[in-house]
Chain A
Amino acid sequence: MSVLTKSPEAFQPSYGYTFGGELVELPGDIRMHRIYPEGEDTDLSSRTVINIGPSHPAMHGTVRMVVELDGETIVGVDVIPGYLHRGFEKECEAHTYHQAIPYTDRLNYCSPLINNFAWCGTVEKLFGAEVPERCQLIRTYMSELSRITDHLTAMGAGLMELGALTPFLYMVEVRDWMWEHICHVTGARLTQSYGRIGGLARDVTDEWLDRNTEIFEKHLIPKLKQVHALVDHNRIFIDRMRGVGIVSQEDLISYGVTGPCLRAAGVGLDCRTYAPYDAYDRVSFDVPIGKYGDNYDRYFVRMREIEESMKICRQLDPMIRATNGAPIHAEDARMVLPPKKEVYSNIEALMNHFKLIMEGPRPPKGEAYHAVEGANGELGFYLVSDGTGMPYKARCRPPSFVNMGAIHLMLLGSQVADIVPIFGQINMIGGECDR
């Protein structure tokens, strides 16, 4: 091992934070951030370096952590992502704006609709276009459904990793009901690709909304009650989650952490409130905030967010029914495909359709950044357009990647048994972290 940088200043930003430490180089291009909890002259011979991953039982994603242990305490860590880097940006540069929508599904694959709508929203921003009201309402509704499924997946897997196998089965069962139901309108259980630039793939019916309310009443609410009853006051759960993985608010903000991880620390930052997009300004909902910022708070913030999402859906339900029959596509021939009847009967629509499919929608030259509240934090897309139908640059601002940049703050000083719960509560989704 060779020590690369030893100065504490290298790790202390201007507002100052707790540990310094040093960067130690290990073979295999690993640079471990090592700390000395007792002091500089600690005996290093009692420490062991172990490798966790990239294929590991934690069901959240494939990431590798090289961890140095002193007994059970973690005194050195290097987090190595990239084991699912699939080249999203390079693929998007080779496809049209329409063709890139399935790639966005696979970013945060637990909440694919949020990704779709974020991408479509960014392209619409490049065009300077607005979608009609019914489309906004449905997009909001579907985003909240996606948020519910993401939190169910995250919490189910997170609880299973602690050994609570029953809540996993309950949550996966509810998630399956919701997926089947979303499949009825979008056509797919998981990678829905439902958003279109300027609108949606197809419309929803009142019966579909009825069934959704039924799923909430019959399946989601009872199962959430059961999970809360099993876990909330469970001695083992509290012992494993309380006080674990605490980071100060200033550190979290400096590391760009957003979403439930930041809200659990007490910072009420939610894209849907300070910069409402779609129909979020027409519904009222609370933003749950935690007190201590530990694992227990992150778990509880997510569970409360499921209930808030249900609240939003209940408010949107009559609004969507009221706009029955309204268009779901913007009146913009630059980006919306003309109706098939027109395409088959007149030449202008045929040419429009042809150009949009073959070349893609061509926004004016420029750049735009549009951010939505993803399930893990702020999901942003930065698109640079050069006037052609394919993006010149398609950047996804991934909340999981940035949240993982801060995980070493939570791991250093904790126990080895806390790695999996912390990793689970951060909810790193591999597709989004590595893209």
Chain B
Amino acid sequence: MAVDPDKVVQLGDARNGNIVPANYGGDDIIEKAGLENNVWATRMDAVLGWARKFSLFQYPFVTACCGMEFMAVSGSHYDTDRFGAALPRFSPRQADMLMVVGTIVHKQAPVLRTVYDQMCEPKWVVAFGACAVSGGFYQNYTSVPGADKIIPVDVYIPGCPPRPETVLDALVKLQEKIQASRHIAF
């Protein structure tokens, strides 16, 4: 098939607000091969989903009060280690889950975007706390009304700050989402 240069999209390209994950693409090939409902493809998806959901390496982008609840969730009362999501990786290159914990302000926005861009696919984003979800009760010249104004978000955790059980529930929901999504690419 002829390649249209205008339609070529770099895999993993995050510039211009056009987030293209690396495992995007190949849907047409899958359709052509008739593999989209193929048992082999769906089993592979299930296995990869299982592996990815139980080995989440979080990048805690901690800014504000929700960071205290994040510490509590990582502590021994409400352990995230039980879910496989214990180890924070303080480098975005080594992490696959970005937890935006706390208020994002306009000064911090380019930083958040850079950190997100530095992460490799597959990656998921969790907006932790009311401020990351929608700006919380800060509605002024400096607060960004939600982290999803800057990066795409997968799971939103409401609460100011959310109770640790809410965070664990969100973690389980994210794991369900990972299990159910398409992983393989050609």
Q: Does residue B63 face the partner (Cβ distance < 8 Å to A)? A: yes
How far apart sit A169 and B71, CA to CA, in the bound complex (Å)?
9
Contact partners of B64 in chain A: CB under 8 A:
84, 86, 106, 109, 430-431
How far apart sit A153 and B137, CA to CA, in the bound complex (Å)?
25
- Closest B residue by C-beta to A157: B71
Interface residues of B in 28-85 (CB under 8 A from A): 61-65, 67-69, 71-72, 74-77
Contact partners of B140 in chain A: CB under 8 A:
86-87, 90-91
- Closest A residue by C-beta to B72: A176
Q: Which of B6-14, B15-23, B100-108, B176-184 contacts A (4 or more CB under 8 A)?
A: B100-108
Interface residues as binary, A86-118 with B (CB distance below 8 Å gives 1, 0 otherwise):
110011000000000011011001100000000
Contact partners of A85 in chain B: CB under 8 A:
105, 107, 142
Contact partners of B160 in chain A: CB under 8 A:
191
- Closest A residue by C-beta to B114: A55
Taking the nearest CB of chain A, how far is it from the CB of B82, in angstroms? 14
Taking the nearest CB of chain A, how far is it from the CB of B146, in angstroms? 14
Interface residues as binary, B97-140 with A (CB distance below 8 Å gives 1, 0 otherwise):
00000110101100110010000000000000000000001111
How far apart sit A57 and B69, CA to CA, in the bound complex (Å)?
16
Q: Does residue B90 face the partner (Cβ distance < 8 Å to A)? A: yes
Contact partners of B115 in chain A: CB under 8 A:
55
Q: Does residue B186 face the partner (Cβ distance < 8 Å to A)? A: no
Are B72's CB and A172's CB within 8 A?
A: yes
Contact partners of A62 in chain B: CB under 8 A:
62-63, 108
Are A82's CB and B76's CB within 8 A?
A: no
Contact pick for B71, options A56, A57, A153, A430, CB 8 Å = A153
Answer whether A173 and B76 are a contact pair too, CB < 8 Å, given A54-B111, A86-B105, A190-B68: yes
Are A172's CB and B108's CB within 8 A?
A: no
Question: Which of A57, A61, A106, A179 is most buried by chain B, counting CB atoms within 10 A of its CB?
Answer: A106
Interface residues as binary, B152-186 with A (CB distance below 8 Å gives 1, 0 otherwise):
00000000110100000000000000000000000
Interface residues of A in 161-196 (CB under 8 A from B): 168-169, 172-173, 175-176, 179, 189-191
Answer whether A109 and B68 are a contact pair too, CB < 8 Å, given A84-B103, A84-B108, A86-B142: yes
Question: Which of A55, A173, A189, A431 is most buried by chain B, counting CB atoms within 10 A of its CB?
Answer: A55
Taking the nearest CB of chain A, how far is it from the CB of B62, in angstroms? 7
Question: Which of A87, A90, A153 is most buried by chain B, counting CB atoms within 10 A of its CB?
Answer: A87
- Closest B residue by C-beta to A172: B75
Are A91's CB and B71's CB within 8 A?
A: no
Contact partners of B61 in chain A: CB under 8 A:
55
Answer whether A83 and B108 are a contact pair too, CB < 8 Å, given A59-B62, A109-B65, A169-B75: yes
How far apart sit A197 and B112, CA to CA, in the bound complex (Å)?
38
Contact count band on A:
35 or more
Contact partners of A86 in chain B: CB under 8 A:
64, 103, 105, 138, 140, 142-143
Contact partners of A176 in chain B: CB under 8 A:
72, 75, 77
How far apart sit A430 and B95, CA to CA, in the bound complex (Å)?
24
- Closest A residue by C-beta to B78: A176
Answer whether A179 and B72 are a contact pair too, CB < 8 Å, given A55-B61, A84-B63: yes
How far apart sit A57 and B115, CA to CA, in the bound complex (Å)?
13
How many residue pairs link A and B with beta carbons under 8 A? The number is 93
Taking the nearest CB of chain B, how far is it from the CB of A51, in angstroms? 11
Are B68's CB and A87's CB within 8 A?
A: no
Taking the nearest CB of chain A, how far is it from the CB of B65, in angstroms? 4
Contact partners of B142 in chain A: CB under 8 A:
85-87
Question: Which of B74, B75, B90 is most buried by chain A, counting CB atoms within 10 A of its CB?
Answer: B75
Contact partners of A90 in chain B: CB under 8 A:
140-141
Contact pick for B75, options A55, A82, A106, A173, CB 8 Å = A173
How far apart sit A102 and B75, CA to CA, in the bound complex (Å)?
26
Answer whether A83 and B77 are a contact pair too, CB < 8 Å, given A54-B111, A90-B140, A153-B68: no
- Closest B residue by C-beta to A183: B163
Contact pick for B65, options A55, A172, A190, CB 8 Å = A190
- Closest B residue by C-beta to A112: B65
Contact partners of A82 in chain B: CB under 8 A:
107
Taking the nearest CB of chain A, how far is it from the CB of B60, in angstroms? 8
How far apart sit A125 and B135, CA to CA, in the bound complex (Å)?
33
Are A87's CB and B143's CB within 8 A?
A: yes
How far apart sit A28 and B97, CA to CA, in the bound complex (Å)?
30
Contact partners of B137 in chain A: CB under 8 A:
102-103
How far apart sit A59 and B90, CA to CA, in the bound complex (Å)?
11
Contact partners of B67 in chain A: CB under 8 A:
59
Question: Which of B71, B74, B88, B143 is most buried by chain A, counting CB atoms within 10 A of its CB?
Answer: B71
Are B105's CB and A169's CB within 8 A?
A: no
How far apart sit A172 and B71, CA to CA, in the bound complex (Å)?
7
* 10 A-B pairs with the lowest CB-CB distances in the bound complex, closest first: A109-B65, A172-B75, A87-B140, A57-B90, A176-B77, A83-B108, A62-B63, A87-B142, A86-B138, A173-B76
List chain A positions with a Cβ less than 8 A from chain B.
54-57, 59, 61-62, 82-87, 90-91, 102-103, 105-106, 109-110, 153, 156-157, 168-169, 172-173, 175-176, 179, 189-191, 430-431
Q: List 8 A-B contacts (CB under 8 A).
A: A84-B64, A84-B102, A91-B140, A103-B137, A169-B75, A172-B74, A173-B77, A189-B163
Taking A87-B142, A169-B75 as known contacts, 11 extra A-B pairs with beta carbons closer than 8 A to each other, sorted by chain A number, are A54-B108, A55-B112, A62-B63, A83-B108, A86-B105, A106-B65, A109-B65, A172-B72, A173-B77, A191-B65, A191-B160
